[in-house]
């Protein structure tokens, strides 16, 4: 299977996984930045280097495209790739607004190509453990859940010439999927309504940031529960995630900071006794130790799932509808911050 990767910052670690996997050949890369293109081409032994996405997407040898370009380009580039007959693995978030979501659903519904969103939190070991407990009935029915993602990205907000990058005006809730995906993937639930809130620190500490320091949304769920998502890209806190699931038979929460990925605390079956457990990634030693760094081994698992879906014609773990179920609540949350009202989270299945 011939792969092309676009966007060579975060995308580099994904390009390396495709390069190492014996089921895939990385044959083309694309980036506006010539230095990144040349360095990646040399490191990975790739000869087809594209500056223009349109030329890249027209390369008929490419079967599947992995998109790791800035988030505001995801919908437009996914649609171009699908229309060019490529399978698409797209970085999070899938889209930035409801219009983009509708256009993507329209393009995908006229195609038989696989679309998958590369959401690593579905594969983090602590989340996989929660999924097992939930599947065994140990947590019962979840009536309340929480997710937090706090990541001060000051260093990524300006280009070397001082102009703002897309991250300088990205609303924290427009990037909701690390928080929403574990619960939604585990339960099959869907968020139906969002109420958003926002707050910021003092102006002299803003550093030219163009949106709220923290955005929080409450979501109502189809199964009758509620969910709180808090996201921030401007803060003085160490980077970290946190998840908690309150079930009527058991309780689960992750560790804090970097331990959120691998450590969990849970009680099960109506017993209040808490167990602490350290969870492991599956054995992926055939890929060596250095691959998939930064996000553990989750990117390898995503690539394996994406390729298997294409080969077997099966649904990927995060297909388009799941990707939108994970992404659209954040967009509705931003709408609610502005309107002060509960906003409906659309069901993208009704657009087909
Ligand atoms: N954990 C995660 O899932 C995770 C982590 C980091 C980033 N991301 C996502 O991955 C994507 C990439 O993130 P990043 O931090 O590398 O972003 P970035 O903006 O730092 O880098 C994007 C790269 O794409 C290139 N690019 C820009 N416009 C392009 C175009 N039109 N055609 C081709 N290349 C173009 C840039 O030159 C740059 O090399 C983002 O959408 C982000 O949301 C996800």
| Residue ID of nearest Cα to ligand 1 atom 41 | 71
**51-62 tens-digit pLDDT:** 999 999 999 999
Half-sphere exposure of 274 (CA within 13 A, CB side): 10
Domain stop point among 120, 149, 180: 120
Res 290: pLDDT = 79
Which ligand 1 atom is at minimum distance from the Cα of 73?
31
The verdict on the CB of residue 92 being under 6 Å from ligand 1 is yes
Burial of 200 (0-12, 13-18, 19+ CB in 10 A): middle
Q: Is 291 among the domain residues?
A: yes
Q: Which of 293, 319, 312 is nearest to 1 (CA)?
A: 312
Q: How remote is the CA of residue 16 from the centroid of ligand 1, in Å?
A: 15
**158 plus 68 within the same structural domain:** no
Range 328-336 average pLDDT? 99
* φ and ψ at residue 287, rounded to 5 degrees: -90, 0
Res 156: pLDDT = 97
**222-278 tens-digit pLDDT:** 999 999 999 999 999 999 999 999 999 999 999 999 999 999 999 999 999 999 999
CB 219 within 8 A of CB 345: yes
Indicate the top mutation candidate among 6, 8, 9 to test ligand 1's pocket, ranked by most ligand atoms within 8 A of CB: 9
The verdict on the CB of residue 308 being under 6 Å from ligand 1 is no
Q: Print burial letters for 245-263: b (CB count within 10 Å at least 16), e (below 16).
A: bbbebbbbbbbeeeebbbb
**36 plus 125 within the same structural domain:** no
**104-155 tens-digit pLDDT:** 999 999 999 999 999 999 999 999 999 999 999 999 999 999 999 999 999 9
Half-sphere exposure of 195 (CA within 13 A, CB side): 9
pLDDT for 294 beyond 80: no
pLDDT for 292 beyond 70: no
**113 plus 125 within the same structural domain:** no
pLDDT for 65 beyond 80: yes
Res 339: pLDDT = 98
Helix 74-83 and helix 98-109: axis angle, to 10°? 10
The helix (H) or strand (E) run that includes residue 263 is strand 263-267
Tokens 């609303």 -> residue = 171
The verdict on the CB of residue 33 being under 6 Å from ligand 1 is yes
Q: Is 349 among the domain residues?
A: no
**161 plus 293 within the same structural domain:** yes
Q: Which of 177, 132, 6, 26 is nearest to 80 (CA)?
A: 6
**73 plus 164 within the same structural domain:** no
| Residue ID of nearest Cα to ligand 1 atom 6 | 10
The DSSP bridge pattern shows strands 275-278 and 263-267 to be antiparallel
The verdict on the CB of residue 329 being under 6 Å from ligand 1 is no
Joined tokens for residue 36: 């990144």
The verdict on the CB of residue 30 being under 6 Å from ligand 1 is yes
**257 plus 126 within the same structural domain:** yes
Domain stop point among 120, 147, 163: 120
pLDDT for 20 beyond 90: yes
pLDDT for 178 beyond 80: yes
Q: Containing domain of residue 137, as a range?
A: 121-344
CB 95 within 8 A of CB 101: yes
Q: Is 212 among the domain residues?
A: yes
- With pLDDT > 90 as the criterion, what percentage of the chain qualifies? 96
């Amino acid at each position: 299977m011939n792969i092309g990767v676009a966007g060579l910052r975060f995308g580099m670690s994904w390009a390396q996984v495709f390069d190492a996997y014996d089921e895939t050949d990385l044959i083309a890369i694309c980036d506006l930045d010539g230095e990144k293109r040349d360095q990646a081409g040399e490191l990975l032994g790739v000869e087809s280097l594209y500056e223009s996405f349109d030329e890249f997407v027209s390369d008929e040898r490419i079967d599947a495209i992995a998109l790791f370009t800035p988030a505001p380009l995801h919908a437009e580039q996914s649609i171009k790739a699908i229309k060019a007959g490529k399978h698409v693995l797209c970085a999070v978030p899938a889209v930035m607004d409801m219009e983009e979501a509708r256009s993507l659903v329209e393009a995908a519904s006229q195609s038989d190509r696989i679309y998958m969103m590369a959401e690593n939190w579905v594969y983090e070991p602590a989340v996989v453990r929660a999924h097992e407990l939930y599947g065994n009935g140990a947590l019962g029915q979840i009536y309340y859940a929480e997710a937090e993602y706090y990541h001060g990205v000051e260093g990524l907000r300006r280009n070397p010439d001082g102009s703002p990058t897309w991250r300088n005006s990205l609303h924290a809730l427009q990037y909701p999927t690390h928080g929403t995906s574990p619960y939604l993937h585990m339960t099959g639930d869907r968020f139906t309504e969002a109420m958003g809130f926002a707050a910021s620190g003092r102006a002299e500490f803003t550093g030219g940031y163009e949106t709220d320091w923290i955005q929080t949304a409450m979501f109502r769920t189809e199964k009758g529960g509620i969910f709180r998502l808090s996201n921030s890209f401007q803060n003085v806190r160490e980077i970290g995630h946190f998840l908690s699931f309150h079930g009527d038979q058991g309780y689960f929460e992750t560790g804090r900071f970097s331990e959120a990925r691998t450590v969990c605390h849970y009680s099960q079956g109506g017993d209040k006794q808490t167990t602490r457990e350290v969870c492991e990634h599956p054995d992926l030693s055939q890929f060596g130790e250095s691959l998939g760094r930064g996000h553990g081994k989750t990117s390898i698992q995503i690539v394996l799932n994406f390729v298997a879906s294409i080969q077997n014609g099966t649904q990927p773990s995060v297909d388009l509808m799941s990707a939108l179920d994970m992404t659209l609540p954040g967009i509705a949350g931003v709408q609610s911050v502005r309107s002060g009202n509960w906003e409906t989270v659309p069901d993208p299945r009704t657009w087909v």
